[in-house]
């Protein structure tokens, strides 16, 4: 289960990068007070990872939990028998997490328990196996279980993000990289480096491959790349635009934009046979296809009606139907995992913001107030949206916002620009 993190070191063009650090810029008042006690260690006391710290940071970052600082803990139990619920009631903690890390061969077994402090009962208890390099991942899995137990919704901590970085060199040239990191910004690795632009990463449904656009041959081309082996495959290299790849939910098809027949249209390519099916036909720009989770509908950006708006069409083709009506410019839609909402760029007089459209009610909610917010991507649990924004001094950075707007985070403290974040699917 933890093989992926170990093998990712083999990925093409890998090099170690400074981790992104995440700062919570806005949290909710109703965050649940929780204590994650430092985990006990059997045997070797020097672990590479402070598991409890990673768990607490995950929970805090969601904005829905307020972990108790360690210095405020009156006791530090690591086994049930050591727990005195009064110690936790005194500091107004509602949930308590204790655990222990045991050596198991070359790896570890991490066991943990989650308690309801006021009722004095255990809510969850599991043992998670991890290889030598997998302790952070085990911690994210534990955070996911705690999150789901207490909120009733699946967590998305044990996931990754892909994004593009750009560094401006002293000689005026640029270095582009497609990077993949854990969802908490840790362990970023470049999977492709190029002197020419890289764009539009898209995860396959199994999380093992990325499709993206490269200009390394001085024109746009779409490649897919296996993250386990580093193997690349050229998928589209037609005359004109080869852009906006979007992997279908079943992993067998790729929606993409091609202008080979004159102007940008949406096509669907069978990844195995490379056979193309044209989906749209208009004189305007049709681009940025996004799949509905059932794989039967594509949302896309089009200026066919004069202004740039989101439309939807059957993935087999047909008559498109306009979806957005608020705002002079709506683009780059992405669909939530439950298929009920779209996130997109929405423009008003103050700039381009991230907005969410409820597809059932038609209600549009603007979530961000930057001038250049773009490239929204839902967490696989639908709770947060990661996107690209700008700092006051024009640096491109990644940020995240909860779908209700209540929680905001910023990924920061690195050099160069980061852009086009895409959240991976749930790890399988």
**Which residues are near other proteins by CB under 8 A?**
174, 197, 199-200, 215, 217-220, 237-241, 243-244, 257, 259-260, 263-264, 285, 287-288, 301, 308, 329, 331-332, 345, 347, 352, 371-372, 374-375, 390, 394, 420
- Nearer CB in complex with other proteins: 51/199: 199
Q: Pairing relation of β-strands 40-42 and 107-116? A: unpaired
* CB 40 to other proteins: min, Å: 49
- Nearer CB in complex with other proteins: 48/262: 262
- Nearer CB in complex with other proteins: 338/369: 369
In whole angstroms, give the CA distance from residue 162 to residue 179: 6
The angle at the Cα of 394, spanning 389 to 396, to the nearest 5 degrees, equals 40
* CB 179 to other proteins: min, Å: 17
In whole angstroms, give the CA distance from residue 267 to residue 274: 11
- Nearer CB in complex with other proteins: 114/356: 356
What SS3 state is found at 377? strand
In whole angstroms, give the CA distance from residue 346 to residue 365: 10
* CB 197 to other proteins: min, Å: 4
In whole angstroms, give the CA distance from residue 121 to residue 17: 43
Backbone angles phi, psi at 53, to 5 degrees: -65, -40
- Nearer CB in complex with other proteins: 83/279: 279
- Nearer CB in complex with other proteins: 188/264: 264
What SS3 state is found at 214? strand
- Nearer CB in complex with other proteins: 159/220: 220
* CB 346 to other proteins: min, Å: 11
* CB 183 to other proteins: min, Å: 22
* CB 250 to other proteins: min, Å: 23
- Nearer CB in complex with other proteins: 85/238: 238
* CB 63 to other proteins: min, Å: 27
* CB 387 to other proteins: min, Å: 11
CB 141 within 8 A of CB 394: no
Count of Cβ atoms closer than 10 Å to residue 72 Cβ: 11
Neighbour-count burial for 268-304, b at 16+ CB within 10 Å, e otherwise: bbebeeeebeebbebebbbbbbbbbeeeebbbbbbbb
- Nearer CB in complex with other proteins: 36/266: 266
- Nearer CB in complex with other proteins: 55/199: 199
Neighbour-count burial for 27-49, b at 16+ CB within 10 Å, e otherwise: beeebbebbbbbbbbeeeeeeeb
- Length of the chain (residues): 428
Give bridge partners of residue 129 from the DSSP assignment.
109
In whole angstroms, give the CA distance from residue 166 to residue 1: 32
User: Residue 68: which of 99, 34, 94 has the closest Cα?
Assistant: 34
User: Residue 299: which of 334, 343, 346 has the closest Cα?
Assistant: 334
* Distance, CA of 122 to chain centre: 31
In whole angstroms, give the CA distance from residue 351 to residue 372: 6
* Cα maximum dimension of the chain: 72
* CB 126 to other proteins: min, Å: 42
* CB 215 to other proteins: min, Å: 7
* CB 411 to other proteins: min, Å: 19
User: Residue 347: which of 374, 311, 381 has the closest Cα?
Assistant: 374
- Nearer CB in complex with other proteins: 159/259: 259
């Amino acid at each position: 289960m933890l093989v992926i993190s170990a093998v990712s070191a083999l990925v093409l063009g890998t090099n170690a990068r400074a981790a992104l650090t995440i700062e919570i810029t806005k949290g909710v008042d109703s965050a649940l007070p929780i204590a994650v006690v430092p985990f006990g260690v059997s045997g070797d006391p020097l672990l590479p990872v402070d598991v409890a710290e990673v768990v607490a940071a995950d929970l805090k970052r969601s904005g829905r939990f307020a972990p108790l600082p360690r210095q405020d803990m009156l006791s530090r139990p690591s086994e049930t028998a050591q727990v005195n619920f009064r110690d936790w009631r005194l500091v107004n903690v509602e949930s308590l997490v204790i655990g222990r890390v045991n050596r198991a061969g070359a790896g570890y077994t991490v066991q943990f328990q989650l308690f309801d402090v006021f009722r004095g009962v255990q809510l969850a208890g599991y043992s998670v196996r991890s290889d030598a390099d997998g302790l952070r991942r085990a911690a994210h899995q534990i955070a996911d279980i705690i999150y789901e137990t207490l909120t009733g919704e699946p967590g998305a901590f044990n996931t990754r993000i892909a994004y593009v970085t750009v560094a401006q060199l002293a000689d005026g040239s640029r270095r582009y990289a497609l990077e993949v990191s854990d969802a908490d910004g840790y362990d970023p690795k470049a999977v492709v480096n190029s002197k020419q632009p890289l764009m539009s990463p898209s995860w396959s449904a199994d999380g093992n491959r990325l499709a993206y656009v490269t200009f390394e041959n001085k024109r746009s081309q779409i490649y897919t790349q296996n993250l386990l082996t580093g193997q690349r495959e050229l998928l589209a290299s037609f005359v004109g635009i080869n852009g906006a790849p979007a992997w279908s939910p079943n992993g067998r098809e790729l929606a993409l934009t091609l202008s080979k027949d004159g102007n940008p249209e949406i096509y669907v390519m069978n990844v195995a046979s490379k056979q193309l099916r044209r989906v749209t036909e208009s004189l305007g720009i049709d681009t940025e296809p996004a799949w509905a989770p059932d794989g039967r509908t594509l949302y896309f950006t089009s200026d066919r009606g004069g202004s740039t708006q989101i439309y939807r069409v059957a993935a087999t083709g047909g008559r498109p139907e306009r979806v957005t009506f608020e705002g002079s410019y709506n683009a780059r839609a992405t669909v939530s995992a439950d298929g009920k909402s779209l996130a997109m760029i929405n423009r008003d007089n103050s700039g381009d913001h991230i907005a969410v459209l409820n597809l059932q009610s038609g209600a549009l909610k603007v979530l961000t107030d930057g001038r250049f917010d773009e490239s929204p991507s839902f967490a696989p649990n639908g709770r947060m949206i990661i996107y690209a924004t700008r700092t006051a001094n024009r640096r491109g950075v990644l940020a995240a916002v909860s779908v209700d707007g209540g929680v905001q985070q910023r990924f920061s403290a690195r050099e160069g620009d980061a852009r086009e974040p895409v959240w991976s699917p749930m790890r399988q």
